Amino acid sequence: MRDNATEPESKLLHAWQLAVLRFAVTRDDDDRMHALAVAGEVDRLGSAAGDAFHFFRRTTAELCAAIAGQGTDQDAVVGRFLARIDNVRLKRAVEAAMAKERTPHRTPPRIVASRIKHGPDLWRGLAPRRATGT
């Protein structure tokens, strides 16, 4: 049974994880700002003494920098984030978004000219067209 006092906090924490995933997929600055805003909301929930709690904002800034390929210890920062995710599907999605960026981009293969056959054999094997009289 769920504790009703922690349900809003867990929903907000899940929203933060999803916001980080969205940034990992899009690498868009608007999505980074959204993740930081959600992190600020989580920090406000955890701090009864005003603005003293900055864990989620600091973590989000480090994480977004690591995802964008900036800073040192990128793998360790992402690894710590992944270790904190309880939802298996969300964890796999973040891993996939990170793996997508680490794989080298390949150019699509070119069509080889010798594979294209031009000439009278193009229609060979097809039944001839018959004029339909209407």
pTM of the model as a whole? 0.67
Q: Does 120 fall in a domain?
A: no
Q: Does 23 fall in a domain?
A: yes
Note the pLDDT tens digit of each residue in 60-115: 999 999 998 887 788 899 999 999 999 999 999 998 988 765 555 555 555 555 55
Q: Does 70 fall in a domain?
A: yes
Q: Does 12 fall in a domain?
A: yes
Q: Does 44 fall in a domain?
A: yes
**pLDDT surpassing 80 at residue 117:** no
Mean pLDDT across the stretch 22-26?
93
Instruction: Please give the Cα distance from 27 to 21 (Å, whole number).
Output: 10
Closest CA to 44 of 33, 34, 35, 54: 54
